[in-house]
């Protein structure tokens, strides 16, 4: 049960890894993405992306600025304008 | 024939030129690696954005209510040509190739009865365009103070262009820059960036049940300016890599030419010196025999 997760900014590919769950700060509310999530495209507001490597693990947070997220059968792709820190 | 002293001076001056070109070549090859890495790092984002655009584009029908960036202004009269050039010289025909490509396009458009305006990025292309089309330059983005052109610059260029577009200052925008093929080959290219051309063909077929948040139109509206920014950002990066590549090649040639020139001059110098010695000896011998 792994979700293929990618975080990309215009400057570089920040992350590309298999994780358990990612919580995305969507513009209409946060949502968590697990493996097998229905295909979805959402814009994002500035906020924190929370990455859960395994079930129940301490989440790793990455602050991002704007952009959008796409979930398809291949996994989750976050296209962020900028990654802070 | 030049005197010995003159020859010596010339050899020294060619040698110092060679030192400069050699230094510039080494600097360019070091910078090229960095610029190339930056251009490569930017590719995944551009690639994914294109895919998203393609899948959205197949969903949204172009109508009168769709955003102007996608549907166009409904006219095809005023064309804006964006010329991205470098700020520094010593890079061979790099800048003149870009300007040449832009000029060909401008002539073509003018021959078709269109109005052509210019927007310039970078210092080197500016002088040429301003000289030729002094009244048609709408804007200039100064990058001389920057060490490298980043995403922030692309954003402000895109913001300015979109503002101009919203005010109705132009109908179609073309971007001219140099595409980086290899250190030896840079290809000046032009492409239309406004209105945004939706890429086709790459759309994944299995997204029939895609959910959108907020909805397709709104996402597209947000995506379009971003697409313009990315196109410009990509062009800036390609340009930076191309400039260093062109510079490296040009400086390599210059260094080699200087080396050849030094060899030729040294041969002439040695011959002249030998001739002078021989003449002197003959004079001494002739003088001694006359006694």
pLDDT of B51-102, one tens digit each? 777 777 777 666 666 777 777 777 788 899 999 988 888 888 899 999 999 9
- Contacts with B, A 9-48, CB within 8 Å: 9-13, 26-28, 38-43
pLDDT for position B252: 93
Token pair, residue A67, equals: 């952009």
CA dihedral B120, B126, B131, B133 (to 10 degrees): -10
How far does Cα A38 stand from its chain's mean position? 14
Alpha-carbon span B96 to B234, nearest angstrom: 20
Judged by CB atoms closer than 8 Å, whether chains meet at B151 and A13 is answered as no
CATH of the domain at A55: 2.60.15.10
Token pair, residue A27, equals: 């513009």
- Could you tell me whether strands B172-180 and B78-84 are parallel, antiparallel, or unpaired per DSSP bridges? parallel
Quickly state the pLDDT bin for B104 (edges 50, 70, 90): very high
- Whether omega for the bond prior to residue B214 falls within 30 degrees of 0, making it cis, is yes
Residues of B in contact with A26 (CB under 8 A): 213
pLDDT at position B32 over 80? yes
pLDDT at position B228 over 70? yes
Q: Which of B128, B122, B77 is nearest to B102 (CA)?
A: B128
pLDDT for position B124: 86
* Catalytic entry in B70, B78, B90, B91: B91
Alpha helices (runs of H) in B137-215, residue ranges in sequence order: 151-166
Task: Find out whether A71 and A40 touch, Cβ atoms under 8 Å.
Answer: yes
Task: Find out whether A21 and A34 touch, Cβ atoms under 8 Å.
Answer: yes
Task: Find out whether B46 and B234 touch, Cβ atoms under 8 Å.
Answer: yes
pLDDT higher at B178 or B222: B178
CATH of domain B30-249: 3.40.1380.10
pLDDT at position B207 over 60? no
- Whether omega for the bond prior to residue B128 falls within 30 degrees of 0, making it cis, is no
Token pair, residue B263, equals: 């060899």
Alpha-carbon span B191 to B227, nearest angstrom: 14
Token pair, residue B227, equals: 């697409």
Token pair, residue A59, equals: 């989440």
pLDDT at position B147 over 80? no
CA dihedral B65, B68, B69, B72 (to 10 degrees): 110
pLDDT at position B123 over 90? no
Q: Helix B94-111 to helix B216-290 angle, to the nearest 10 degrees?
A: 130
pLDDT for position B277: 95
pLDDT at position A84 over 70? yes
pLDDT for position B264: 95
Q: Which of B260, B263, B277, B242 is nearest to B35 (CA)?
A: B242
| Residue of chain A whose Cα is closest to the Cα of B234 | A10
- Residue in B44, B204, B218 closest to A72 by CB: B204
Q: What are phi and psi of A59, to 5 degrees?
A: -75, 145
Alpha-carbon span B22 to B93, nearest angstrom: 18
pLDDT for position B91: 86
Structural domain tally of chain A? 1
B205 touches chain A (CB under 8 A): no
pLDDT for position B61: 66
pTM to 2 decimal places: 0.83
Residues of A in contact with B149 (CB under 8 A): none
Residue with tokens 């299995």, as numbered in its chain:
B206
How far does Cα B75 stand from its chain's mean position? 30
pLDDT at position B24 over 60? yes
Alpha-carbon span A16 to B79, nearest angstrom: 41
pLDDT at position B203 over 60? no
- Could you tell me whether strands B137-141 and B78-84 are parallel, antiparallel, or unpaired per DSSP bridges? unpaired
pLDDT for position B200: 62
Handedness of CA A72, A74, A75, A78 (dihedral sign): negative
What integer best gives the mean pLDDT of chain B? 86
Alpha-carbon span B69 to B126, nearest angstrom: 27
Mean pLDDT throughout B4-17?
A: 94
- What share of chain B has pLDDT > 70, as a percent? 91
| Residue of chain A whose Cα is closest to the Cα of B222 | A43
pLDDT for position A12: 83
How far does Cα B133 stand from its chain's mean position? 20
Alpha-carbon span B42 to B36, nearest angstrom: 10
Task: Find out whether B176 and B188 touch, Cβ atoms under 8 Å.
Answer: yes
pLDDT 10s digits, A10-69? 888 888 999 999 999 988 888 899 888 888 888 888 999 999 988 888 889 999 988 888
Active site annotation includes B9: no
pLDDT for position B90: 85
- Contacts with B, A 44-83, CB within 8 Å: 68, 70, 72-73, 77, 79, 81-82
């Amino acid at each position: 049960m792994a979700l293929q997760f990618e975080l990309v900014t215009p400057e570089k590919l920040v992350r590309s890894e298999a994780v358990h769950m990612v919580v995305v700060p969507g513009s209409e509310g946060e949502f968590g993405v697990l493996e097998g999530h229905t295909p979805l495209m959402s814009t994002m507001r500035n906020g924190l992306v929370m990455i859960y490597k395994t079930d129940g693990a301490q989440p790793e947070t990455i602050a991002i600025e704007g952009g959008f997220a796409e979930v398809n059968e291949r996994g989750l792709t976050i296209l962020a304008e900028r990654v802070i820190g | 024939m030049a005197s010995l002293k003159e020859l010596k001076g010339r050899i020294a001056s060619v040698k110092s030129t060679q030192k400069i070109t050699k230094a510039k070549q080494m600097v360019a090859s070091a910078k090229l690696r960095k610029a190339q890495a930056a251009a490569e790092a930017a590719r995944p984002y551009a690639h994914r954005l294109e895919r998203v655009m393609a899948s959205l584009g197949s969903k949204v029908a172009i109508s009168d209510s769709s955003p102007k960036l996608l549907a166009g202004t409904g006219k095809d009269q005023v064309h804006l040509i964006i010329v991205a050039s470098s700020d520094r010289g010593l890079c061979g025909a790099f800048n003149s190739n870009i300007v040449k490509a832009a000029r060909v396009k401008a002539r073509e458009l003018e021959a078709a009865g269109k109005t052509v305006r210019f927007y310039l990025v970078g210092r080197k292309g500016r002088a040429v365009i301003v000289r030729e089309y002094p009244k048609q330059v709408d804007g200039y983005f100064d990058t001389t103070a920057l060490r490298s052109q980043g995403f922030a610059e692309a954003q402000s260029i895109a913001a300015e262009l979109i503002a101009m577009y919203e005010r109705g200052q132009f109908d179609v925008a073309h971007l001219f820059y140099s595409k980086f093929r290899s250190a030896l080959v840079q290809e000046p290219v032009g492409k239309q960036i406004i209105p945004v051309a939706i890429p086709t063909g790459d759309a994944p077929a299995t997204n029939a049940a895609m959910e959108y948040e907020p909805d397709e139109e709104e996402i597209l509206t947000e995506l379009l300016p971003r697409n313009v920014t990315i196109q410009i950002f990509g062009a800036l990066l390609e340009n930076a890599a191309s400039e260093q590549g062109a510079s490296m090649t040009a400086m390599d040639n210059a260094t080699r030419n200087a080396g050849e020139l030094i060899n030729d001059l040294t041969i002439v110098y040695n011959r002249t010196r030998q001739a002078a010695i021989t003449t002197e000896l003959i004079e001494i011998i002739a003088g001694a025999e006359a006694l």
